[in-house]
Amino acid sequence: MTTQSVLAIAAHPDDIEFVMAGTLLQLSERGWQVHYFNIANGCYGSQSLEPAQCSALRLSEAQAAAALIPATFYPPISDDMEILYTPQLLRQVAAVIRQAQPQIVLTHAPLDYMEDHQNAARLAVSAAFTRGMPGFVTSPPLASYDGPVAVYHAQPHGNRTPLGELVEPTHFVDVSSLVERKRELLAAHASQDQWLGASQGISAYLETMVELNRQVGQFSGQFELAEGWRQHLHLGFSPAGFDPLRDALDSVMVVRQ
């Protein structure tokens, strides 16, 4: 029997906790193997620490958060603001795909408020697409594999595109009962409390996470708190109608096409 595997691919430490962790917890509770990958190391996420100090601190925070899920942790491969759509980064992200062999890939929205998020999404999509290409050499080199995969895009920050357009998801996952666990996971990234307030005006970052989930819950019309997803087009990834997130979490989600 094929192992049920989900891989979260985000830009920075704490991105998974803001918009993806509740869904990962729901899948983990149902026996799915969870894989956790931030492409960038968070090196510029401080106004007081040197980049090397900051990246080391944020690595330990991300590892602690992944252990709480629990999830297999993959180390970052880039500095902040250097998540670019390059062949080298694509080969490295594709190697993580081939290690995790997920049926579900969770990643950022294609349009989000910063380029690191958008490029992380592009890399995740392309890396999943190359999973079955024997001639595409990953870094490190790993064998290709066959099997369907579904890519789901999380809500953009603030539930809006960079131009302010409202984004409503098609898949709503109930995280109301998991809010305290989500708080615990995000609180593992304690270094970001001061940074997010100073750099982006996000005060009380734990409450900001809850409020964003509350907005998605309101969109659902059913849940108090929810995480939202939109499925990437199936072409090149799976047969039509393949929707493993819906099938796995049917009892705790609403789908609207």
Cα separation, 206 vs 17, whole angstroms: 10
| Predicted pLDDT of residue 92 | 98
User: Taking a C-beta distance cutoff of 8 angstroms, is the pair 74, 49 a contact?
Assistant: no
pLDDT in tens, the chain (257 residues): 468 999 999 999 999 999 999 999 999 999 999 999 999 999 998 888 899 999 999 999 999 999 999 999 999 999 999 999 999 999 999 999 999 999 999 999 999 999 999 999 999 999 999 999 999 999 999 999 999 999 999 999 999 999 999 999 999 999 999 999 999 999 899 887 765 555 444 447 788 899 999 999 999 999 999 999 999 999 999 999 999 999 999 999 999 98
Joined together, the tokens standing for residue 40 give 């960038």
Each residue's pLDDT tens digit, 76-99: 999 999 999 999 999 999 999 999
Question: pTM, whole model, 2 decimals?
Answer: 0.95
| Predicted pLDDT of residue 47 | 80
| Predicted pLDDT of residue 1 | 42
Q: What is the CATH number of domain 5-255?
A: 3.40.50.10320
| Predicted pLDDT of residue 207 | 84
Nearest CA among 16, 19, 250 for reference residue 154: 19
| Predicted pLDDT of residue 136 | 98
Distance of CA 76 to the CA centre of its chain: 13
Sequence spans of domains, the chain = 5-255
